[in-house]
C-alpha cells in the first residue's frame, strides 16, 4: 500500500507565527534589583491554536490557557498571548488596563478580515460574516465591525428580510469558497448585490484543493488535526465527499490497521494547526501498517 502526502498540508504561517511568539514570550524575564530576574508568567487567552496536543504541551511547559483575562495573574508584568483566532477589541483593552503585557498572535489573515469588517461598517453597510456561529475567529471579526452583525454559514441561515440597504460580506478565513459562493448567489437571487471582501486564507484554499485532488487518486484518506479545528473539519468534509473512506484523527494511535486491508493507496493531509512532527508520526505508522499488511498477504 502506497502512502501519499498531500502537496499542501499542516501548520500554516499564522500558526507557526503564533507558536514562535509564545516561545519568545516564555523566554522573557522580569528583573528588579531586589529579586533579580525571573521568567514572566505566560498565559494564552483560550487555546493558542486548535490543536489539543500542542496546547497540552504548552501547559506542561508552564504556558497556561486562561478562559478570561481575569484569570490571568497581573503581577510582575505577566504576559498574555492573544490566540491566533483573534479577540474582541475590549479584551485587549482590559488586559492592558490590568497591567498585563499583551503579545498579539492573531493570524495576519484574521487581522485582515477584522479590518475588512470594520471598513464595511464605516462605509455604512450592514455586515454579514460567512462562518461558524460561536467560533472565536468569527466572534473577533464580528466585534471589529461593531453593532449588529449577521453570521451565516449556508443560504438557509439567511433571514427572509435582510437588514440595511447595502450588505458587506467578509468570510471566516478557513471557510471553503463554495460556502461564500452559495451565500452570494442566494443574495443575488433576491436582487441584492453584496459588497464582498473575500478573506479566505490562501493557505487554507491550497490545503483544501490539494487534499481534494489527492482524494481522487487514492483508496482512503487520513486527515490529521484537532477535532476542534474548523479548517481540519472542512478538510475531512471535502475528502469524505470524494471518498467515504476518510478518517479524521488527532494522533497516530487512533489509526486502525483494519481500515487499510486490501487498499492500494492512502492519502494523508492535515489541518493548518497541525505541526509537521504530528504528520510525520502518522505517515511513519501508516508505512509500518502497509508493510505489515504486505507481509501477511
Order of all β-strands in the sheet with 220-224: 2-5, 265-270, 220-224, 246-249
CA angle 168, 159, 142 (to 5 degrees): 45
Closest CA to 150 of 111, 103, 141: 141
The three-class DSSP label of residue 158 is coil
CA distance 188 to 200: 20
Q: Are 208 and 179 in contact (CB under 8 A)?
A: no
Is residue 34 classed exposed, middle or buried when 0-12, 13-18 and 19+ CB atoms within 10 A define those classes? Answer: exposed
CA distance 120 to 147: 12
CA distance 68 to 44: 9
Give the sign of the dihedral formed by CA 35, CA 37, CA 38, CA 41: positive
**What grid cell was written down for 269?**
493531509
| 254 flagged as catalytic | no
Q: Which residues contact 60 (CB under 8 A, 6 or more apart)?
A: none
CA distance 241 to 148: 35
Which residue in 29, 122, 137, 166 is the catalytic one? Answer: 137
Cβ–Cβ contacts within 10 Å for residue 97, how many? 10
The residue to which cell 487518486 is assigned: 217
**What grid cell was written down for 237?**
468534509
Residues annotated as catalytic are 137
Amino acid at each position: 500500500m502506497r502512502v501519499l502526502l498531500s502537496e499542501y498540508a499542516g501548520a500554516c504561517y499564522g500558526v507557526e507565527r503564533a507558536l514562535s511568539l509564545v516561545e519568545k514570550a516564555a523566554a522573557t524575564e522580569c528583573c528588579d534589583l531586589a529579586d533579580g530576574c525571573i521568567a514572566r508568567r505566560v498565559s494564552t487567552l483560550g487555546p493558542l491554536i486548535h490543536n489539543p496536543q500542542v496546547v497540552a504541551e504548552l501547559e506542561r511547559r508552564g504556558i497556561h490557557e486562561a478562559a478570561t483575562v481575569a484569570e490571568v495573574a497581573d503581577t510582575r508584568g505577566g504576559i498574555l498571548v492573544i490566540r491566533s483566532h483573534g479577540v474582541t477589541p475590549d479584551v485587549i483593552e482590559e488586559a492592558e488596563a490590568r497591567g498585563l503585557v499583551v503579545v498579539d498572535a492573531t493570524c495576519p489573515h484574521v487581522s485582515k478580515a477584522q479590518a475588512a469588517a470594520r471598513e464595511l461598517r464605516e462605509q455604512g453597510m450592514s455586515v454579514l460574516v460567512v462562518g461558524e456561529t460561536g467560533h472565536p475567529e468569527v466572534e473577533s471579526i464580528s466585534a471589529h465591525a461593531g453593532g449588529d452583525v449577521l453570521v451565516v454559514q449556508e443560504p438557509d441561515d439567511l433571514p427572509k428580510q435582510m437588514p440595511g440597504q447595502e450588505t458587506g460580506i467578509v468570510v471566516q478565513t478557513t471557510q471553503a469558497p463554495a460556502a461564500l459562493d452559495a451565500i452570494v448567489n442566494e443574495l443575488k437571487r433576491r436582487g441584492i448585490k453584496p459588497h464582498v471582501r473575500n478573506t479566505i486564507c490562501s493557505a487554507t484554499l491550497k490545503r483544501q484543493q490539494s487534499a481534494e485532488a489527492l482524494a481522487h487518486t487514492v483508496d482512503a484518506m487520513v486527515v490529521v488535526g484537532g477535532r476542534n479545528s474548523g479548517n481540519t473539519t472542512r478538510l475531512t468534509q471535502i475528502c469524505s465527499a470524494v471518498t467515504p473512506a476518510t478518517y479524521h484523527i488527532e494522533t497516530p494511535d487512533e489509526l486502525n490497521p483494519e481500515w487499510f486491508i486490501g487498499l492500494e493507496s492512502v492519502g494523508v493531509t492535515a489541518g493548518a494547526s497541525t505541526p509537521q512532527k504530528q504528520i510525520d508520526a502518522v505517515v511513519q505508522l501508516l508505512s509500518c501498517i502497509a508493510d505489515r499488511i504486505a507481509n501477511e498477504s
